[in-house]
Structure 1
Amino acid sequence: MPKIVSNKSVSRSPKEDSKVLVAGYMEAATAENTRRGYRSDVRVYEKWGGLLPASQNMLIEFLADMAQQRQMSTLRRYLASISKWHQLQGFVDPARSTQVKTLMRGIAKRHNRQARQAKPIAIAELEKIDGYLSLLAANHLDEMIDERTRKKERLVALRDRAMLLLGFWRAMRGAELLSVQIEDIKVIDGQGAEIYLRSSKADREGRGVTHRLPCLDALCPIEAIKAWLCESQLTSGPLFRSINRWGGVAGSAMGVNSLAPWMRGLLIKAGVADSESYSAHSMRRGFATHAVSCGTDLKELMSYVGWKDVSSAMRYIDHEASLQSLLPARLQR
C-alpha cells in the first residue's frame, strides 16, 4: 500500500513562512564571503575549547592565548566574529565588556608587531606576467604539446590575463573580482566599459555599484576580457570560472580561497621572485601604489577604488615604493 503523507506534515503555517522569510533577509544582509569568515573564526574559538555562548572570562583567556601566536589584526577579526555570533543569536555580547576592551588595548601595546601585508605588484611585474600569459595564449612556450592541452592552456592563459588586468586596474577585492557577471559588463567601443557589481563589501545597503574602466593602449583589461569571452564562448553567468584538466569550463565562479595560490602560481611561472610575499590583495595594493607614484590625488584615488576613509586607503599604499618613484635619481643613490 502506498504511503499516504498528510498535508499537515508538509505544509507550513503563515508564522513559519514569515520566519523563513526573515531568516532569508537576515542572511542576504551579509555577503557570503563575510559569513564564511565569521563561521571560520568561530570554529577556531571552538577548536581552542571555547563554549558558546561565551563568558567574559573564557573569551579573555582565548584572546590572551591567541595573542602569543596571532597578529593583532587577526585577534580583532576573531573578536568581531564572536561578537557577531552573540548578537545574531540574541545573547549578551561579552566582546563589549570593559575588561575585554582593556585586554585588547594591553595586547596591542605588549605585542606591537607590524602587520604583514601583501607585497604590491609593480607595473614591471605586471608586464612580466602579462608577457608570459600572452606567449602561453599564443602557444609559443611549448610547441610539442597535443591539441587538447594546447586548447586548455590557451583558455587558462586568456582567463588569467583578464583576471589579472581587471583585478589590477580596478583595484578589486578578490570576492568582487569573482562575483562579476558577464551580463553586467557593458563595453562601449573606443571608450571603455562599465561593470556593475551586484554586491560588495563596501556596498552596505546592497544597492549595487557601477565601476568604469577606460580603454588602455597597453595591458588593457577590456581587450583581455573580450579575448577570454571570445575563446570560452561564455555569454552569461560568472566571468571567471575554473577550468578542468580537459579544458572544460565550469558553470560556477572560482572559489575565493583559490585566488592566493593562483596569484603565487602565476608569479612563479612568470619568473617573479619572492612569490610567497604576494596574495590576491597584491593587485589592489599594486594599483594604489602605482596611482600615488604617478601623482594621483588621494581623494581621487579613494573615489575611484571606493574607500570611504583615508586610513583604509593608506593601508594599501606602499609608501616606500611610491616615494622611490617620485624622488630624483640623485637622492635615491
Structure 2
Amino acid sequence: MENPSSLPVLIPTRTHALVEMPASVGRYAEAGLQGAANTQRGYAADLRSFEDYCQHHQVSYLPAAVTTVAGYASQLADRGKKFATIRRHVAAIAKLHQLAGQPSPTTHEALGVVLDGIGRVLGKRQRQAPAFTVAELKQAVRAMNLTTPTGLRDRALLLLGFAGAFRRSELVALNVEDVELTRQALLIHLQRSKTNQYGEAEDKAVFYAPTADYCPVRAVQEWIECLGRTTGPLFTRMNRGAAGVPGRPGLARLSDQSVNDLVQRHLGPAYSAHSLRASFVTIAVEAGQSNKAIKNQTKQKTDAMIERYARLDDVKRFNAAQYLGL
C-alpha cells in the first residue's frame, strides 16, 4: 500500500483549478492554506454565522451565490457590525471556497459594489483605541500594589507593552528565554508576529528609564525574578492563593482577552490592549521621531500605517498653532 505521505498534493487556487504538487511540499502547502492560528479561529466563528444564515434562508452554503454573500453582508451591516468585521466575514467565505476548490463568489464585481456601498454608509474608519499619555501610565503604575506578584506582572506587562509597541498577541506569546539583557537595552527576540508570519529573526529594544518605578527594563527583570525560572511563558495567570494570601505565578499563559482586561483595569474602560501600541506611535510622533525610527520598533512596513496608528486628532494636544511665536 502506498504511503499517504508520498502521494501528490492538490492545491486549490483562486482561479479554481487544482494544481498538483509533489508530496514533499505537502506540509508547507497545508500551512499556507490554513494561515495563522488567530486567523483560523476568527474564520471558524465567521463561517458558523454564515452557515446559520444560509440554513435560515435555505440557500447553498458551498458553493455560495454572489447574491447570498451580498445578502449576508447587508444583514451584518444592518445589525451594526463594523465594516472591518464584515470584510473579515467575506474573507472567511473566500477562504472556505478556496480550500474546497470551488469558484468564489467574493471576487464578483457586483459584491464589490455592495461592499463599497456598505463602507460608505457605515464609514470605513473603525473606532480606534485611544492613546493614553505618559502621565496616565505613570499614575496607573503608582496605583499598583507592587508587593504582590500580580502587581509586578501587571507593571511589567504595561511598561513593556508600551515601550515595545507590542501587540497583545506578541505579549502573550513571549517566553522568558526570548528576553536578553544587554548593557544598552533589553532585547526582545520575537519568534513570530502579525507582520512576521515566517518566523524570521526580529528584535525589539526596550531602554532603561531614569526612574526605577517606571523603567520597563527593571520591571521585566523584577517580574522574571518573581517567576523564578529561565524558560517558559513570560506573562502567566496567577494560581489562586489562600484567603488573604496573594496568588503565585502559574504556568498558563495570559490570553489575548486577559491583556485587554488588564489594560482596562489599570488605565480605564476607554482604553484597550491596542492602546499600548497606539500610545507608543502617538507619543513618538509628538516627540518628533522619524517614521523610520518608529517603524524600527513597531515593525510596521509603511509610513501610512504610522498615520493610521497615531492619535493626533486632539486639537489642543497636537496643533501647529502652539508654535507660532506669538
TM-score > 0.5 by shorter chain: yes
Q: Could you tell me which amino acid in structure 1 is paired with residue 66 of structure 2?
A: Q
Contact 2:209/2:215 (<8 A) preserved: yes
2:220 corresponds to which of 208, 225, 228: 225
Go from structure 1 to structure 2 and tell me whether the alpha carbon gap of 1:131 and 1:107 turns closer, same or farther (over 3 Å shift).
same
Q: Per-residue CA shift, 1:180-231, capped at 9, x if unaligned?
A: 1111211013x11211111111014331411122222132211111000111
Which AA in structure 1 matches 2:257?
A: N
What does the per-residue CA deviation read over 1:254-294, in whole Å, with 9 as the maximum and x for residues that have no partner?
11122222221223xxxxxxx33211001101111111111
Distance (Å, rounded) in 2 between the aligned partners of 1:280 and 1:260: 5
Quick check: 1:199–1:206 contact (8 Å CA) kept in 2?
yes
- What pairs up with 1:4-19 in 2 under 5 angstroms? 13-15=4-6
Shift of 1:327: 5.0
- 1:162/1:322 Cα in 2 relative to 1: closer, same or farther (>3 Å)? farther
Correspondence 1:51-130 to 2 at 5 A? 51-68=61-78, 69-112=80-123, 114-130=125-141
Unmatched runs of 5 consecutive residues or more in structure 2: 10-22, 56-60, 242-246
Q: Distance in 2 between matches of 1:322 and 1:252?
A: 43
Structure 1 residue 264 corresponds to structure 2 residue 264: yes
Kept after mapping to 2: 8 A contact 1:289/1:319: yes
1:209 corresponds to which letter in structure 2? E
1:44, distance to aligned residue in structure 2 (A): 2.6
Aligned equivalent of 1:36, options 34, 41, 62: 41
Instruction: Please give the alpha-carbon distance, in whole angstroms, between the structure 1 residues aligned to 2:63 and 2:190.
Output: 36
Q: SS where residue 181 of structure 2 aligns?
A: strand
- Letter paired with 2:317: Q
Q: Is the 8 A contact 1:293 1:323 kept in 2?
A: no
CA distance in 1, matches of 2:238, 2:7: 42
Aligned length: 297
Give the distance between the partners of 2:309 and 2:73, measured in 1 at CA.
27
- 1:290 paired with 2:290, answer no
**2:236–2:250 CA contact under 8 A, matched in 1:** yes
The 8 Å contact of residues 149 and 248 in structure 2, kept in 1 or not, is answered as no
Over 3 Å counting, the alpha-carbon distance change for 1:311 and 1:80 in structure 2 is farther
TM-score with structure 1 length normalisation? Answer: 0.81
Secondary structure of 2:158's counterpart equals helix
Question: CA 1:325–1:56 in 2, change beyond 3 Å: closer, same or farther?
Answer: closer
CA contact (8 A) 2:207 2:216 kept: no
Shift of 1:33: 1.7
More off after superposition, 238-247 vs 110-119: 110-119
Which whole-Å CA distance do the structure 2 matches of 1:170 and 1:104 have between them? 36
Contact 1:174 1:259 in 2 (8 A): yes
Deviation at 1:21, TM superposition (A): 8.1
- Cα gap change, 1:93 to 1:208, in 2 (>3 Å): farther
If each structure's helix is expressed as a fraction of its own residues, which one has the higher value? 1
Q: Which amino acid aligns with 2:114?
A: L
Residues 238 and 231 of structure 1: CA distance in aligned 2, closer, same or farther (over 3 Å)? same
Pair 1:25–1:216, CA change in 2 (3 A): farther
CA shift, 1:13, in A, is 4.3
In 1, Cα distance between the equivalents of 2:167 and 2:237? 18
State the shift of 1:81 in Å.
2.1
1:128-277 pair list within 5 angstroms: 128-133=139-144, 136-138=145-147, 154-189=148-183, 191-218=184-211, 219-246=214-241, 247-267=247-267, 275-277=268-270
- Give yes or no for contact 1:290–1:322 (8 Å, CA) kept in 2: no
Is the contact made by 1:241 and 1:253 (CA closer than 8 Å) also made in structure 2? yes
Could you say what the CA RMSD is over the residues aligned between the two structures, in angstroms? 2.7
Shift of 1:325: 4.7
Q: Distance in 1 between matches of 2:4 and 2:313?
A: 63
1:156–1:52 Cα change, 3 Å: farther
Instruction: Name 1:150's counterpart in structure 2.
Output: none
1:39-50 to structure 2, matched below 5 A, reads 39-49=44-54
Task: Evaluate the alpha carbon distance shift between residue 278 and residue 90 of structure 1 in structure 2; reply closer, same or farther with a 3 A threshold.
Answer: same
Q: Deviations over 1:12-68 (max 9, x none)?
A: 644479879835762377322222222222223223346234221211110011112
Counterpart of 2:13?
Answer: none
1:26 has 2:20 as partner: no
Give the fraction of aligned pairs with identical amino acids, expressed as a percent: 28
3-state SS of 2:300 partner: coil
Q: Matches of 1:310 and 1:98 in 2, distance apart?
A: 30
Q: Do 1:83 and 1:95's aligned partners in 2 also have CA atoms closer than 8 Å?
A: yes
Q: Distance in 2 between matches of 1:49 and 1:258?
A: 34
- Match of 1:77, SS? helix
